[in-house]
Amino acid sequence: MSSNTPSSSAGGVGSADSAAPRRNSKRPKYSKFTQQELPACKPILTPRWVISAFMLVSIVFIPIGVVSLFASRDVVEIVDRYETACVPDNFRNDKVSFIQNETTNKICTRNLTVPKRMKQPIYVYYQLDNFYQNHRRYVKSRSDSQLKDNSSWDDVSSCKPEDNANGMPIVPCGLIAWSLFNDTYNFSLNNQQLAVNKRGISWKSDRDSKFGSDVFPRNFQNGLLIGGKRLDPNVSLSEQEDLIVWMRTAALPTFRKLYGKIERDLQPNEVIQVTLENNYNTYSFNGKKRLVLSTTSWLGGKNDFLGIAYLTVGGLCFFLALSFTIVYLVKPRRLGDPSYLSWNRNPGGH
């Protein structure tokens, strides 16, 4: 009996071990990628490499900055601020009453002198200051489906508060369209009309994809409060380019929008007479209005920022390269001394 007992106990242990479930290992499959054992380049930034890198950046950036700055300086701009000058003296203390009074004469004449020769095309912009087109409620107050497809002409769910007037849907609806800029400009030179081309001033993708050729204004600016320009109900939205330009909202409170193009050269000291109609209300929010005539260069309009930015970065890199060169010459590292490498130092002096 006693001789059989150990064998039975040994058999029980063996059967228990074989019946126990095998533990799954969580060790990931070995690969050089997961174990970060791939060949790697670990450059040591010696003084010569650092100085050469800074010098290369300065050599590239400084000429680009100079060229960009000269291109911007070649652009000729005429900027005329007129929102105060075009208000009669007796309304200077109450400009809001002047702009809201439909019986007052809002015709204003301005003279612009050409400072330098302006080559065609000369772009005519209006500039607004302190106008927040990027406000969330303003940006959302539009119906893209209505603008694109005539079958959705009554889709005004996102256009409040300018969604309906007199119980009928507004096309185009929303605050953006309702506040369309409505100042007008007429130009003359030597008592002859100076034509302004208003075709092709909007993005072609907007005309073709976002504004339908079968969508026409309906019930627009028929409410109690008129926001801005009225639209011709017989012209489709895809052809009303002033509206298309305005509907592409600006990101900043100061912005310019294209009004048209003058397709002839202007000579120095020529005087352009501008007859404008001061209709747009910027006085309620202390806004400013400017008329801008500008040429362009291969880099675009007048903007010194890009050239100044390149010159600043290039000049800073040149200064750092020069400083490191002086330090390297005054106190060079000893040849064959690897003590500057962190992994060759003895921490704590041990």
* Tens-digit pLDDT string for the chain (350 aa): 444 444 444 444 444 445 555 566 677 788 888 888 888 887 778 888 899 999 999 999 999 999 999 999 999 999 999 999 999 988 988 999 999 888 889 999 999 999 999 999 999 999 999 999 999 999 999 999 999 999 888 899 999 899 888 889 999 999 999 999 999 999 999 889 999 999 999 999 999 999 999 999 999 988 788 888 999 999 999 999 999 999 999 999 999 999 999 999 999 999 999 999 999 999 999 999 999 999 999 888 898 999 999 999 999 999 999 999 999 888 877 655 555 555 555 555 55
Helix axis angle for 305-330 and 47-73, nearest 10°, is 160
pLDDT tens, 260-297?
999 999 999 999 999 999 999 999 999 999 999 999 99
Q: What is the pTM of this model?
A: 0.79
Can you tell me the distance from the alpha carbon of 80 to that of 60, in angstroms, rounded to the nearest whole number? Answer: 38
Residue 295 and residue 293: Cα distance in Å, rounded?
7
Q: Determine the Cα–Cα distance for residues 285 and 291; give it in Å rounded to an integer.
A: 19
Residue 148: CB partners within 8 Å, gap ≥ 6?
A: 209, 210, 211, 212, 215
Three-state SS across the chain?
CCCHHHHHHHHHHHHHHHHCCCCCCCCCCCCCCCCCCCCCCCCCCCHHHHHHHHHHHHHHHHHHHHHHHHHHHCCCEEEEECCCCCCCHHHCCCHHHHHHCCCCCCEEEEEEECCCCECCCEEEEEEEECCCCCCHHHHHCCCHHHHHCHHHCCCCCCCCCCCEECCEECECCCHHHHCCCCCEEEEEECCEEECCECCCCCCHHHHHHHCCCCCCCECCCCCCCCCCCCCCCCCCHHHCHHHHHHHCCCCCCCEEEEEEEECCCECCCCEEEEEEECCCCCHHHCCEEEEEEECCECCECCCCHHHHHHHHHHHHHHHHHHHHHHHHHHCCCCCCCHHHCHHHCCHHHC
